Amino acid sequence: MSRISPLFEQLRTDKRTALIPYITAGDPTPGATVDIMHALVAGGADAIELGVPFSDPMADGPVIAAAHERALVHHVGLRHVLGMVQVFRQSNQHTPIILMGYQNPIEAMGIAVFAERAQAAGVDGVLTVDLPPEEANTAAGIYAAVQIDPIFLIAPTTHADRIRIIAKLATGFVYYVSLKGVTGAQNLDTQALAERVRAIRQDCSLPVGVGFGIRDAPTAAAVGQVADAVIIGSALVRIIAELGQGDPATLQQKVQAFMTEIRSALDRS
């Protein structure tokens, strides 16, 4: 079993909501990523979503797409990302890591080779944005064999019959995309969100994480009322974009402080 299900078990016992930040590996530099990951955990992150840079991040908005471009300046690819996870694991064995990215880099390595290397490096889940369940049978089987959870997206447009298909393939948790649109979009309707999450739970017994459109402590707290996990991406990546050129220690402090702020908002609510 990966680290993901035990984490959600523990959180349920503790009556806490998981905080899962997203960063793009290699942004602003390959050397900075592992330190940022540790800072995220120090600030209260329960798991980390680590973006694998891709030349064509179609489902990402301008903020995260720019992070991919910054990482690609340093030619950060899947092999390097697995190396970063391995280094992170030398001093952290408990925080689940979910790789988030696109299918082509995985296929270029070979799905089976990737699964084996990812498992050896200490990866817990893989979310492939452009691999809906219809295309994911082979990959999901390969990941299951090495105890890596295939994480799937559920969208506002996803009907109940598809949620059931997703529920059959998914393990670990499901990721509800709270908005139509790309990552980094704005307008979140928490009322509608609550209804959607309730509907998802009818067809899927896995924990439900919610992402897209959560940008600060108040939105995180509101989402935390209904979700098992709150996923923060663009808001965090924006901080990295602003401070990435400066002193790495300052960047780590800021990232940690941002996590702490969200964490306490979640724990208060």
Residues within the interface to other proteins (CB under 8 A): 53-59, 61-62, 65, 69, 72, 75, 77-79, 102-109, 129-132, 134-135, 152-159, 162, 177, 180-182, 185
Cβ closer to other proteins: 10 or 138?
138
Cβ closer to other proteins: 179 or 255?
179
In degrees, rounded to 5, the angle at the alpha carbon of residue 239 between the alpha carbons of residues 92 and 258 is: 60
The answer to whether residue 69 is catalytic is: no
Helix (H) or strand (E) segment spanning residue 206: none
CA distance 75 to 57: 15
- Copy the structure tokens of residue 263: 């964490």
Of 9, 27, 46, 60, catalytic:
60
Of 27, 49, 149, 228, catalytic:
49
Cβ closer to other proteins: 4 or 78?
78
Distances in whole angstroms, Cα of residue 145 to Cα of each of 25, 77, 115, 138: 26, 24, 9, 11
- Copy the structure tokens of residue 165: 């298909």
The answer to whether residue 49 is catalytic is: yes
The DSSP secondary-structure symbol of 195 reads H
Residues 6+ apart with CB under 8 A from 118: 82, 85, 99, 126, 146, 148
Helix (H) or strand (E) segment spanning residue 24: strand 18-24
Half-sphere exposure of residue 7, counting CA atoms within 13 Å on the CB side?
A: 26
Helix, strand, coil tally for the chain in percent (to 5): 55, 15, 35
Q: Nearest approach, Cβ of 130 to other proteins (angstroms)?
A: 5
Q: Nearest approach, Cβ of 209 to other proteins (angstroms)?
A: 14
Q: Nearest approach, Cβ of 133 to other proteins (angstroms)?
A: 9
Q: Nearest approach, Cβ of 110 to other proteins (angstroms)?
A: 10
Cβ closer to other proteins: 176 or 258?
176
Q: Nearest approach, Cβ of 184 to other proteins (angstroms)?
A: 10
Active site residues: 49, 60
